[in-house]
Amino acid sequence: MAAIVSAGSTKYGKHDEKGARELFAEAFAEALEGARNLDPKRDIGAVFIGQMGSEYEYQAHSGSWAADYAGIPRTHAARVESACASGSTALRIALAGILSGQYDTVLVGGVEKMRNRGTGEVTLYLGEAGDFPMEIWNGLTFPGLFALMATAYMNRYGAKEEHLAKVAVKNHKHASMNPKAQYPQEITLEQALSSRVVAWPLKLYDCSPITDGASVVILTRPELAKKYTDTPVYITGFGHSTDYLGVYEREDMTWLEGARRASEAAYRMANVDVGDVDLFEVHDCFTIAEILLYEALGIARRGEGYKIIDEGLTYYDSKIPVNVSGGLKAKGHPVGATGVGQIYEIWLHLTERAGRRQVKGAEVGVTHNMGGSGASHNVFVLER
Amino acid sequence: MAAIVSAGSTKYGKHDEKGARELFAEAFAEALEGARNLDPKRDIGAVFIGQMGSEYEYQAHSGSWAADYAGIPRTHAARVESACASGSTALRIALAGILSGQYDTVLVGGVEKMRNRGTGEVTLYLGEAGDFPMEIWNGLTFPGLFALMATAYMNRYGAKEEHLAKVAVKNHKHASMNPKAQYPQEITLEQALSSRVVAWPLKLYDCSPITDGASVVILTRPELAKKYTDTPVYITGFGHSTDYLGVYEREDMTWLEGARRASEAAYRMANVDVGDVDLFEVHDCFTIAEILLYEALGIARRGEGYKIIDEGLTYYDSKIPVNVSGGLKAKGHPVGATGVGQIYEIWLHLTERAGRRQVKGAEVGVTHNMGGSGASHNVFVLER
């Protein structure tokens, strides 16, 4: 369908000295370095960029500045926004551009510059990802929304706070091997459990941080891939689904139906079974989300997601590695960049570039990126 | 390539009682009413919505709420943003979706809710469409940017303030026949010239207003069109180009190179000559823009755009009707909706629904929608 010929990413974290466009340019420079013979002006037909909040630095029209900063000011471009799924949505739109025959090669970026705003302000902006007038206006925040999901889940299935905390411990362990992670320190279960409560049962270590960062991938038609690299990674399936914007509208707040639909469509298109997948990057904006996604993506049975983290099965060197990058939790969550950063991580593994955290012999990887409290889901299957 | 089977639009203006989603739903209801046998759940494969500023009402993730409010909460959707070209960019992305084989029928919307914010705040937000850190941060506003273009143009080619004012007089005359226009009153040349200066030479009547509104079109594969309507309108060509984000980066601020590129590509794809076009809707965010666009789109020769407004050639009943809707100037400019509203207007004419302002026997129409001060341009050729 399409091949990834190169990718790049800034370190995720705090970049006081750089704006969104400088972060994007830094990630693009890494990708360009890795793409043999690629001349942006000649070869790149379009730029699609995922970004949630132009208001973070009073700069919209990101497609145009991204094209400009990639050195191709007169091209095709657009910014795409589906809240925290903006990055993967840009990739989906880019794929449509290739499949439609319009473009041979497309630059896909994701970026967010958040740390220049205060926590309260960012919390308010992130609230725009949910049903603002119904949820946020009435006092809910994103930690609050996911806390509701967590309590409902714990009540129904018997999961405990420890299970949530174990997701954080795992993802911090993974991040400790990722030089681009925002919080690469390992933590203990006790630290996680005794960190301050944000919205019970979610504590500080159950929540992804506020992050600056950018990631890009360069995508081309499969038949052109070898021109630019010896190690192409192929997108063999993708799936997408929206869902009701407000959590209150859904039948069951312990189940991410959009993720089920998106992942089933992606597996079917790629003709892979969930058991064939060597590693997953999933949208752990809060620890409970990773557990719910084990279930929606078919990694665990419904109601049993917390058991597989309890058994340690999703560590990078175990049976079903999940969020080997550190995840949103510890690698960081620059919202518009996240979905592209997940692709970057899988690309590293499938091209044997992941260093100490390399999942050995990885052949098939899957990404899942979510918008809001589950109102947008994009799933990609990548194979080498 | 694709067929428009129906379209809808709210009145443009001030809608205190409605949010963006209610405006969108109202426009969608009109479109649905006009599409025979269309069952959204069964037939619509995706929703793409153009919106510039989620911050106008603290609600991002518009693809998901739009799908939800269209009654198809579990579908494919995304919000697309290219500043004031967001609506036409959503249409471009929707076309790619159809051409890629992913979708048969797509709902394209544009929406903006601006009047609930103060003029100063809106001016600041609109500044995000330009190069904020370089231009707006240093004191330029959008009226200021277009005033620079106007003075440079007047200085080089000998155009006068009267020529700018004549664009406003024409577009208000057109708006007086459009029941959905925000400012349907006719104005005199003297009124326009004596209105208060915003940024010389631009006066109040040289500037498009701040507007709430939504417009939608329903798009399908040409071979399916007759299922939904007896009067399909076909998109036979489209073109797009970005340009440098900042005016200061461009070689010549009196020339919209992106508009030239986009229109040439669109004419070529549709195999039409500019002389074949029966009416144009162009992006007259300021009166000077309409004059510059006469030139970039090939309606007038370079440096002679002001002469054709002087001669009255672009009135609805003259040789080359431009902005028969009233244009952004008088119909209104709900920024994300504008590009879709232009399509709506051409669709009205090509299906003989434009009432008193109907361009008689119109067969070919062209829309041009611009982002920022010229950093994004989308041109579509529509034929019946």
| Rounded alpha-carbon distances, angstroms, from residue A380 to A314, B73, B207 | 19, 21, 45
Contacts of B101 in chain A (CB under 8 A): 99-100
What per-residue confidence (pLDDT) applies to A3? 98
Biggest CA-to-CA distance, chain A: 57
**Contact state of A60 with B79 under an 8 Å Cβ cutoff:** no
CA distance A238 to A270: 8
| Catalytic-role residue among B333, B349, B368, B377 | B333
Percent of chain A surpassing pLDDT 70: 100
- In chain B, the residue whose alpha carbon lies closest to the alpha carbon of A85 is B61
Which residues of B fall within a CB distance of 8 Å from A89?
63, 78
Alpha-carbon separation of residue B63 from A58, A162, A262, B81, B372 (angstroms)? 22, 36, 16, 11, 22
Query: Distance between CA atoms of A167 and A315, rounded to whole angstroms?
Result: 10
Give the three-state DSSP class for A220: strand
SS3 category, B82: strand
Q: What is the mean predicted confidence (pLDDT) over B334-354?
A: 98
Evaluate whether B228 touches B220 at the Cβ level (below 8 Å): yes
Name the residue among A246, A253, A255, A160 with its Cα closest to residue A200.
A160
Tell me: the pLDDT tens digits for A71-89?
Answer: 999 999 999 999 999 999 9
**Residue A320 φ/ψ, nearest 5 degrees:** -135, 80
DSSP-derived 3-state class of residue A190: helix
- Contacting residues of B for A249, CB less than 8 Å apart: 68, 73
Q: How would residue B22 be classed by pLDDT, with cut points 50, 70 and 90?
A: very high
Q: Do A242 and B73 touch (CB under 8 A)?
A: yes
Return the ∠ at Cα A277 (arms to A170 and A261), rounded to 5°: 95
Transcribe B154-201 into DSSP letters.
HHHH---HHHHHHHHHHHHHHHTT-TT-S------HHHHHHSPEEETT
Between strands B213-220 and B279-281, the pairing is unpaired
Question: What chain B residue is nearest to A375 in terms of C-alpha separation?
Answer: B64
Is 90 exceeded by the pLDDT of residue B55?
no
A92 contacts B81? CB cut-off 8 A: no
Residue indicated by tokens 């609805």? B316
**pTM confidence score:** 0.98
Provide the token pair at A70: 């990639």
**Complex ipTM tops 0.90:** yes
Q: Which DSSP category does B275 fall into?
A: G
State how far residue B51 is from chain A, nearest Cα, in angstroms.
Answer: 10
What gap in Å lies between CA B67 and CA B76, rounded to an integer?
8
Could you report the per-residue pLDDT of B130-167, keeping only the tens digit for each? 999 999 999 999 999 999 999 999 999 999 999 999 99
Domain B2-117+212-228: state its class. alpha beta
| A176-224 confidence digits (pLDDT tens) | 999 999 999 999 999 999 999 999 999 999 999 999 999 999 999 999 9
Instruction: Give the CATH superfamily of A2-117+210-228.
Output: Thiolase/Chalcone synthase (3.40.47.10)
What pLDDT digit, counting tens, does each position of B87-139 carry?
Answer: 999 999 999 999 999 999 999 999 999 999 999 999 999 999 999 999 999 99
Q: What is the pLDDT of residues B236-268, one digit of tens each?
A: 999 999 999 999 999 999 999 999 999 999 999
Task: Name the residue of chain A whose CA is nearest to B81's CA.
Answer: A79
Chain B residues close to A376, C-beta within 8 Å? 61, 63-64, 77
Half-sphere exposure at residue A186, Cβ-oriented, CA atoms within 13 angstroms: 6
Q: Report CA torsion sign: B305, B311, B317, B318.
A: negative
Q: Is B333 a catalytic residue?
A: yes
Query: For residue B61, which residues of chain A lie inside 8 Å, CB to CB?
Result: 81-83, 128-130, 245, 371-372, 375-376
Min Cα distance A86 → chain B (Å) is: 8
- Paired with A77 in beta bridges are A47
A-chain residue closest to B244, CA distance: A73
Q: Which residues contact B99 (CB under 8 A, 6 or more apart)?
A: A100, A101, A102, B1, B2
Q: Would you place residue A290 in the very low, low, confident or very high pLDDT band (cuts 50, 70, 90)?
A: very high
In sequence order, what DSSP letters do the residues of A256-297 get, joined into one string? Answer: -HHHHHHHHHHHHHHT--GGG-SEEE---SBHHHHHHHHHHT
Q: In this predicted structure, what is the pLDDT of residue B54?
A: 86
Q: Which residues are A216's β-sheet partners?
A: A8, A109
Q: What would the mean pLDDT of B188-208 be, rounded to a whole number? A: 98
Q: Which residues pair with A348 in a beta bridge?
A: none
CA distance B275 to B259: 17
Round to the nearest angstrom and report the end-to-end CA distance of chain B: 13
Burial pattern A200-219, b for ≥16 Cβ within 10 A else e, equals: ebbbebbbbbbbbbbbbbbb
A55 pLDDT band (50/70/90 cuts)? confident
CA-to-CA separations, B30 to B25, B26, B36, B77, B93, in angstroms, rounded: 9, 7, 12, 20, 23
Alpha-carbon dihedral sign for residues B257, B263, B266, B269? negative
Q: Taking residues B273-280, what's their average pLDDT?
A: 98
Q: What is the residue whose two structure tokens read 């998901």?
A: B64
Where do the domains of chain B lie? 2-117+212-228
- Rounded Cα distance between B91 and B48, Å, is 7
Residue range B219-245: mean pLDDT, rounded: 98
Asked if B349 is an active-site residue, the reply is no
Query: What is the per-residue pLDDT across A295-330, written as a single tens digit (0 to 9) for each?
Result: 999 999 999 999 999 999 999 999 999 999 999 999
- Active-site entry in A163, A174, A333, A349: A333
Q: Give the residue-averaged pLDDT of A133-157.
A: 97
Residue A47 clears pLDDT 90, i.e. is over it: yes
| CA dist list (Å): B91 to A3, B114, B275 | 26, 22, 25
The answer to whether residues A225 and A100 touch, using CB atoms and an 8 Å cutoff, is no
